[in-house]
Amino acid sequence: MDFLTNSALTTDADPGSLLSVLTRALRGHMPERYSDYWREAFDARVREALVPGMRILDVGSGRKPTVARDQRPPGCVYVGLDLSAKELQAAPTGSYDEMVTGDISHRVPELEDRFDLVLSFQVFEHVKPLESAMENVRSYLRPGGRALLHLSGAFSVFGILNRLLPHGVGIFLLKHLVGRDPDTIFPAHYDRCWYRALKQLGGHWSYFEVLPRWRGASYFGFSRVVRAVYVTYEEWTVRSRQVNLAPYYLVDAAA
């Protein structure tokens, strides 16, 4: 089971007051933004960006490429880059036309100007310094190439807990409360992973959009009461546009 899926939930088009959000969440009804699959906004942009023959770099793709082999356009070249050779090798056979082992924050001159699309799903919160990583992504794109990145927010409730708790305790809780496989949990830095800091990284790009994604409740599915309290807090952040507190960000940028 995907750890962010909970098919038992229903969603509300009009959640009403915050008190009503709380009472409805206690009964298992979530705000409307929870109606689709949690990564659908990212996946939809990726699908729309795919073009036959394109060259794609998947940053931090590890054992799970962002676009599975059978979903790729014809003639596409798919390169996986990851800090860990072991993670890349754990991917399904034939996932990559080329594997690059390295840190995205360290420039690899051979990758410069090579790609039409750079993808990255849930990786940039693990990267430091993020500024160098973003500049490398830009340099690996051809002029006009696009980057689609999805990452966790530094000031999300989960992101704060993740930094406060020792790594081992975090792994224990994620395994036992959220059902995460410990092999898929990596240390996170959250360097510049909030709205205002991300926007500031866009200066050298021709287009740079940062979209807050308020979908953090799945971390709290172990208790209906805790999840309801979280969703009410998250709803407040949405309504008061606390964009620096979002649990996730989608960055859609053009070089």
Q: Which is nearer to ligand SAM, 21 or 123 (CB)?
A: 123
191 forms part of the interface with ligand SAM (CB under 6 A): no
Q: Minimal distance in Å, beta carbon 94 to ligand SAM?
A: 17
Q: Which is nearer to ligand SAM, 95 or 122 (CB)?
A: 122
Taking a C-beta distance cutoff of 8 angstroms, is the pair 149, 250 a contact? yes
Of residues 38-97, which lie at the interface with ligand SAM (CB under 6 A)?
A: 60-62, 64, 82-84, 87
Q: How many CB atoms lie within 10 A of CB 98?
A: 12
Q: Which is nearer to ligand SAM, 12 or 112 (CB)?
A: 112
Of residues 112-171, which lie at the interface with ligand SAM (CB under 6 A)?
A: 121-123, 126-127
Q: Minimal distance in Å, beta carbon 84 to ligand SAM?
A: 4
Question: SS3 for 34?
Answer: helix
With CB under 6 A as the contact rule, which of the stretches 14-22, 99-107, 163-171, 233-241 interacts with ligand SAM?
99-107
Taking a C-beta distance cutoff of 8 angstroms, is the pair 100, 79 a contact? yes
Q: Which residues pair with 81 in a beta bridge?
A: 59, 100
The closest of 245, 23, 28, 60 to 149, measured between CA atoms, is 60
Q: Which is nearer to ligand SAM, 63 or 142 (CB)?
A: 63
d(CA 37, CA 23): 23
From start to end of 122-245, where are the E strands?
141-152, 207-213
d(CA 7, CA 67): 23
Residue with nearest beta carbon to ligand SAM: 62
Q: Minimal distance in Å, beta carbon 129 to ligand SAM?
A: 10
Q: Which is nearer to ligand SAM, 156 or 232 (CB)?
A: 156
d(CA 225, CA 22): 9
Taking a C-beta distance cutoff of 8 angstroms, is the pair 186, 125 a contact? no
Q: How many CB atoms lie within 10 A of CB 208?
A: 19
Q: Which is nearer to ligand SAM, 18 or 185 (CB)?
A: 185
Number of chain positions touching ligand SAM (CB under 6 A) = 17
Q: Minimal distance in Å, beta carbon 149 to ligand SAM?
A: 10
What does 92-118 look like in DSSP terms, one character per residue? PTT--SEEEES-TTS--GGGTT-EEEE
Q: Minimal distance in Å, beta carbon 20 to ligand SAM?
A: 35
Q: Minimal distance in Å, beta carbon 141 to ligand SAM?
A: 17
From start to end of the chain, where are the E strands?
10-12, 29-31, 55-59, 77-82, 98-101, 115-121, 141-152, 207-213, 248-254
103 forms part of the interface with ligand SAM (CB under 6 A): yes
Q: Which is nearer to ligand SAM, 87 or 234 (CB)?
A: 87
Residues binding ligand SAM (CB under 6 A): 60-62, 64, 82-84, 87, 103-105, 121-123, 126-127, 186
